[in-house]
């Protein structure tokens, strides 16, 4: 049995998320041109929800699709992180319109990108467990619970707690702001 091509293993699963992400991005940011206010609000809301879902949950979808298309673990991880990386690069680009290059890079450590990457790794861990469960139910002898996905899920839960829930996210945000002031404001 020959190995499937990289396009089949990785690019097709990536396109399954990136095409809706890019279409919803373009639609969302151009919806203001719709003159009918009700239609504008509907299009903006629908495309915004698709955009956010693609960024937040794209890693899970890509990981599972890549798994069942025969992608190796490293390939699955790399391709699953692409939506988060694309979003991060775009956000740094937007920040560079206001801040210096170094400050813009630092912006990439703000709570939102950290949350997206934590979520991506945790969802990849969940995806691995789901894929293993499906394979086990098909009759293959495979352990469902292995350390790496469990560690990813636990790290996601702890990281999301620290970044968003602990003190309503204020502690992490103030640490971020205090670090920014220490680095860039003299």
* Residue 61 DSSP class: H
Rounded Cα distance between 38 and 172, Å, is: 38
**pLDDT score at 11:** 97
**pLDDT score at 17:** 98
73-81 long-range Cβ contacts below 8 angstroms, 24+ apart: 75/6, 75/9, 75/10, 76/124, 77/124, 78/10, 79/10, 79/11, 79/13, 79/14, 80/120, 80/124, 80/127, 81/117, 81/120
Are 13 and 79 spatial neighbours (Cβ–Cβ below 8 Å)? Answer: yes
Residues of the chain where predicted confidence (pLDDT) is lower than 50: 1
**pLDDT score at 186:** 65
Are 155 and 186 spatial neighbours (Cβ–Cβ below 8 Å)? Answer: no
Using the structure block, give the residue that is written with the tokens 């968003």: 164
């Amino acid at each position: 049995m020959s190995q499937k091509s990289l396009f089949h293993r990785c690019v097709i699963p990536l396109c399954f998320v990136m095409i809706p992400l890019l279409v919803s991005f373009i639609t969302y940011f151009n919806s203001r041109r719709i003159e009918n206010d009700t239609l504008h609000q509907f299009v903006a809301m629908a495309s915004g929800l698709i955009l956010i879902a693609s960024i937040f949950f794209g890693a899970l979808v890509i990981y599972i699709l890549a798994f069942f298309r025969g992608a190796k673990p490293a390939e699955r991880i790399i391709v699953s992180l692409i939506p988060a990386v694309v979003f991060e690069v775009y956000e740094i680009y937007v920040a560079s319109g206001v801040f210096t290059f170094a400050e813009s890079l630092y912006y990439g450590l703000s709570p939102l990108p950290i949350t997206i990457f934590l979520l991506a790794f945790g969802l990849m861990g969940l995806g691995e467990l789901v894929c293993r469960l499906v394979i086990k139910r098909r009759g293959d002898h495979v352990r469902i619970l292995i350390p790496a996905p469990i560690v990813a899920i636990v790290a996601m839960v702890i990281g999301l707690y620290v970044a968003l829930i602990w003190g309503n996210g204020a502690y992490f945000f103030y640490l971020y702001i205090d670090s920014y002031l220490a680095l860039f404001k003299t």
